[in-house]
Amino acid sequence: MNTKYYLAVDIGASSGRHMLSHLENGKIVLEEIYRFPNGMIEKNGHKVWDVDQLFQEILTGMKKCAMVGKIPYSMGIDTWAVDFVLLDENDERIGDAVAYRDRRTEDMDRKVYEFIPEDDLYGRTGIQKQIFNTIYQLMAVKKKHPEYLEQAETLLHVPDYFHFLLTGQKTCEYTEATTGQLVSPITKDWDYELIDMLGYPRKMFQKLIMPGTGIGHLSDKIREEVGFDLEVVAPATHDTGSAVLAVPANDDDFIYISSGTWSLMGIERKEADCSEKSCEMNFTNEGGYAGRFRYLKNI
């Protein structure tokens, strides 16, 4: 019987890796196929991600799978949270993929609170205040480059952008989207009322998909380059979402600590806690697999 291989591409702030997995006697066997460095670069006065180079690394790792004769049946990519690219009507990138550690969001919290008070924002989204959240990054774009928002047809978070480059399909995956502070924990969809309030163009925001959703097969161009085809399936594209899903706990009675560039500690719950107390404690309700919430704190 042919072994079915599944490829996970996990990209963090300082490195990325391609992990192939398959099942043996009911257990998942992991094999590292490729590893590559990552880091922010200075460009046009900002800290940005070199997404073109990262995409080349993704393709290189896929080619390594073919070289060792282990063609994946499907694959998915996860990355860090909140960062995004904007695309114009020709699907060309507008500006750079600015990184969350860039200083462009300084004072953007005050600009956002001119439209909605801070406690109301937490009540609507359940997401802790971090000055680099997508909501503040978009306010920085609006204030400093309004022409970008005028040209923008599409907003894609970084992992969604890589899935788009592989398949030509534009999607926004739920766990990643929630970190940006623009998603309702009740509807589990974009909070369009909030988006309108802030003056961000509605049309940029793609339909949200849940982890486990098939996105599509490789485009002809990519298939030709890597030498095979497969289905791209959205994982929990926020790396912490995938990490928590992998915690070997078979009930709800557990606490996790996830450590990478950041360390996060929390629990999983079925409903978000958007209370005043939770806001005061600066806990966050990030989207998890199967519509759950990762109730956690940066430690």
Active site residues: 239
CB of 106 closer than 8 Å to CB of 136:
no
Q: In whole angstroms, how large is the CA radius of gyration of the chain?
A: 19
Is the Cα dihedral 185, 289, 58, 42 positive or negative?
A: positive
- Identify the DSSP state of 116: S
- Say how far apart CA 39 and CA 51 lie, in whole Å: 10
> CB–CB of 140/104 below 8 Å?
yes
Q: Tell me if 152 sits within 8 A of 204, measured CB to CB.
A: yes
- CA–CA separation, 11 and 53 (whole Å): 12
| DSSP of 22-45 | EEETTEEEEEEEEEEE---EEETT
Cα distances (angstroms) measured from residue 94 to each of 150, 246, 263:
11, 35, 32
| Three-state SS letters, 70-86 | CCEEEEEEEECCCCEEE
CA 122, CA 138: separation in Å to the nearest integer? 17
Q: Are strands 5-11 and 72-78 parallel, antiparallel or unpaired?
A: parallel
